[in-house]
């Protein structure tokens, strides 16, 4: 019998803040503490939307200590992971070290890593495998440039990128996918919610093809690229958009808290 289809509401939305190279460990402590207070004051129901922050590596231990001490309902993750577990790889961070800090997620294949560090789809697949070896959920980023969009249309490049990245995915291990059109990142020019839906739906079809229908229905697919409080509700109304990877707006406390609480302004 075919597996029962999971409805969108059964996938707990994930609102993830990618801080990139911003906020040192002291600033991170202050931010996470204030974010927790703000969400608590606003009576945010953590069961209805998960919140996660992705600070620089040097902040992770501090964030872990705070989250554990105060039992805060905030997940955290690394912005990258080495494909290697140990050895002579100066500057790299092992998944074993991230796992030792109870890191739940790790961003893999962000377009800035692809562009400035020459990360290929194959390298990203190796990082997905490394994350799974250490029980960390990879947030696999894919997305087309403006040029790709013009030449190949909206979903061909992200689907091709994800196809290779999934070669690293361990059977039965969770993944999150983030569709981030490169032209929308940091540009202030977000995709429309219809564009995001179209690509996220195509990515879900690919996941079904590679990992099976059940995994595809359970997998959260995020949209990223100039997400802010004023546009999050529109994205979240789409069937195949299960959250957001937020860059610039995740550094502004009130703005990010408002994004996390999108359900309160979903009618706007």
Q: Which residues bind ligand PGA (CB under 6 A)?
A: 18, 180, 185-186, 224-227, 245-249
The CB-of-13 to ligand PGA minimum distance in angstroms stands at 16
What distance in Å separates the CA atoms of residue 262 and residue 250, rounded to the nearest whole number?
Answer: 14
* 162 versus 185: smaller Cβ distance to ligand PGA: 185
Closest-by-Cβ residue to ligand PGA is 247
Contact indicator for 178, 224 with CB cutoff of 8 Å: yes
* 219 versus 226: smaller Cβ distance to ligand PGA: 226
The CB-of-87 to ligand PGA minimum distance in angstroms stands at 29
HSE (side-chain half, CA atoms, 13 Å) at 37: 9
Contact indicator for 81, 95 with CB cutoff of 8 Å: yes
* 211 versus 229: smaller Cβ distance to ligand PGA: 229
Number of residues in the chain: 268
Catalytic residue among 110, 119, 132, 174: 110
The CB-of-110 to ligand PGA minimum distance in angstroms stands at 6
* 51 versus 66: smaller Cβ distance to ligand PGA: 51
* 143 versus 154: smaller Cβ distance to ligand PGA: 143
The CB-of-17 to ligand PGA minimum distance in angstroms stands at 9
The CB-of-249 to ligand PGA minimum distance in angstroms stands at 6
The CB-of-92 to ligand PGA minimum distance in angstroms stands at 21
* 67 versus 185: smaller Cβ distance to ligand PGA: 185
Catalytic residue among 50, 144, 174, 180: 180
Active site residue 110: yes
Residues annotated as catalytic (active site), given as ranges: 110, 180
């Amino acid at each position: 019998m075919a597996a029962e289809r999971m409805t969108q509401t059964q996938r707990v939305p994930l609102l993830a803040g990618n801080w990139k190279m911003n906020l040192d460990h002291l600033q991170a402590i202050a931010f996470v503490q204030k974010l927790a207070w703000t969400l608590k004051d606003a009576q945010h129901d953590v069961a209805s939307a998960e919140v996660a922050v992705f600070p620089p590596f040097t902040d992770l231990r501090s964030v872990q200590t705070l989250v554990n001490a105060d039992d805060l309902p905030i997940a955290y993750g690394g912005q990258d992971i080495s494909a290697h577990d140990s050895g002579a790889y100066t500057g790299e961070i092992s998944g074993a070290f991230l796992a030792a800090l109870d890191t739940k997620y790790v961003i893999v294949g962000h377009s800035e890593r692809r562009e400035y560090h020459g990360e290929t789809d194959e390298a990203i697949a190796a990082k997905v495998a490394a994350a799974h070896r250490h029980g960390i959920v990879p947030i696999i980023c894919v997305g087309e440039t403006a040029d790709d969009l013009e030449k190949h249309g909206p979903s061909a490049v992200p689907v091709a990128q994800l196809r290779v990245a999934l070669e690293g995915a361990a059977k039965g291990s969770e993944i999150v996918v983030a569709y981030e059109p490169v032209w929308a990142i940091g540009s202030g020019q977000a995709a429309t919610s219809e564009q995001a839906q179209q690509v996220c739906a195509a990515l879900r079809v690919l996941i079904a093809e590679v990992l099976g229908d059940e995994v595809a229905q359970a997998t959260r697919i995020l949209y990223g690229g100039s997400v802010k409080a004023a546009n999050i509700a529109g994205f979240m109304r789409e069937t195949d958009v299960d959250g957001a990877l937020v860059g610039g707006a995740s550094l502004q406390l009130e703005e990010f808290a408002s994004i996390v609480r999108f359900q309160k302004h979903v009618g706007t």
